[in-house]
């Protein structure tokens, strides 16, 4: 037990640069307090002392602002940073070296019994306000960005952002690489796949316009009459001008 507590305290120093000493961590970190309470309530839950386990977890929620169901399974070196508003459901399973920030929900979407809550693999980081809803797996070393809403499985090593969540980096090909620790589950180099797709589509349309103009020039050189089509940029400019007119009216 003491070894486990020592590992939990050391995990705080590894992932929070604001931590200064052991006494401060033991007395002022609600995430650590909630985890220690859960170690107790989970044991009570396993011993079939279900009401007592729920009552102690309710007390822990009142003291820390963090709600962890006694039935949830949590691995080693689990760290909740800030903590307020974190909710972890009954059938949630959390691997080793996982980090959650404030406002995270590991929730269920089914009223039926059985597995209803997500499973987080080792090394997962979940940013502030993220919601992971459903009985699926978030793979090892995955990152879930702040305020993302994840309702589908996440492959190992991927980064997920947005509502609903979509993958913006990684996947199985980078799962074996050591990505290090990304605070709040995102990095400054993260690119939005929707933006990338739009840029590709616009580039393709522009290239098509150029080829169409070349074909029209060839037809004109052979004496054919071909109506000139406006390039994409001119069409966008005209649409913008028309919209401005309507707004001014």
Q: Say how far apart CA 76 and CA 205 lie, in whole Å.
A: 52
Confidence of residue 179 (pLDDT cuts 50, 70, 90): low
Do 105 and 223 share a structural domain? no
Could you report the per-residue pLDDT of 14-41, keeping only the tens digit for each? 888 888 899 999 999 999 999 999 999 9
Do 43 and 90 share a structural domain? yes
Q: What is the CATH number of the domain that holds 28?
A: 2.160.10.10
The pair of three-digit structure tokens given for residue 141, joined into one six-digit string:
């070393």
Specify the number of domains making up the chain. Answer: 2
What is the rounded average pLDDT of the residues 67-85?
Answer: 93
Q: Structural domain of residue 243, as residue ranges?
A: 195-248
Do 156 and 38 share a structural domain? yes
Residue that terminates a domain, selected from 171, 190, 209: 190
Could you report the per-residue pLDDT of 79-118, keeping only the tens digit for each? 999 889 999 999 999 999 999 999 999 998 888 888 999 9
Higher per-residue pLDDT: 79 or 172: 79
Do 150 and 46 share a structural domain? yes
Do 46 and 160 share a structural domain? yes
Q: Say how far apart CA 16 and CA 2 lie, in whole Å.
A: 21
User: 168 with 193: CB under 8 angstroms?
Assistant: yes
User: 94 with 76: CB under 8 angstroms?
Assistant: no
3-state secondary structure of 169: strand
The pair of three-digit structure tokens given for residue 128, joined into one six-digit string:
């502030």
Do 149 and 85 share a structural domain? yes
Number of CB atoms found within 10 A of residue 146's CB: 18
Do 231 and 149 share a structural domain? no
Do 171 and 74 share a structural domain? yes
3-state secondary structure of 100: strand
Do 151 and 47 share a structural domain? yes
What is the rounded average pLDDT of the residues 5-21?
Answer: 87
């Amino acid at each position: 037990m003491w070894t486990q507590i020592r590992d939990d305290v050391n995990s705080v120093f590894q992932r929070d640069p604001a931590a200064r000493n052991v006494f401060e961590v033991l007395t002022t970190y609600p995430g650590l307090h909630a985890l220690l309470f859960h170690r107790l309530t989970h044991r009570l839950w396993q011993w079939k002392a279900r009401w007592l386990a729920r009552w102690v977890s309710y007390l822990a929620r009142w003291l820390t602002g963090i709600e962890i169901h006694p039935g949830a399974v949590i691995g080693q070196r689990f760290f909740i940073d800030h903590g307020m508003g974190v909710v972890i459901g009954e059938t949630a399973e959390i691997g080793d070296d996982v980090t959650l920030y404030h406002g995270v929900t590991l929730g269920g979407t089914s009223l039926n019994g059985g597995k209803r809550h997500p499973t987080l693999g080792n090394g997962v980081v979940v940013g502030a306000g993220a919601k992971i809803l459903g009985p699926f797996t978030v793979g090892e070393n995955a990152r879930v960005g702040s305020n993302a809403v994840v309702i589908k499985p996440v492959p190992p090593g991927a980064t997920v952002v947005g509502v609903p969540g979509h993958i913006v980096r990684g996947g199985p090909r980078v799962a074996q690489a050591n990505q290090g620790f990304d605070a709040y589950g995102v990095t400054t180099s993260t690119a939005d796949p929707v933006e990338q797709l739009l840029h590709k589509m616009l580039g393709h349309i522009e290239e098509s316009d150029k080829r169409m103009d070349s074909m029209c020039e060839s037809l004109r050189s052979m004496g054919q009459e071909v109506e000139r089509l406006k390039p994409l940029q001119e069409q966008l400019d005209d649409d913008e001008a028309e919209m401005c007119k309507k707004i001014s009216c």
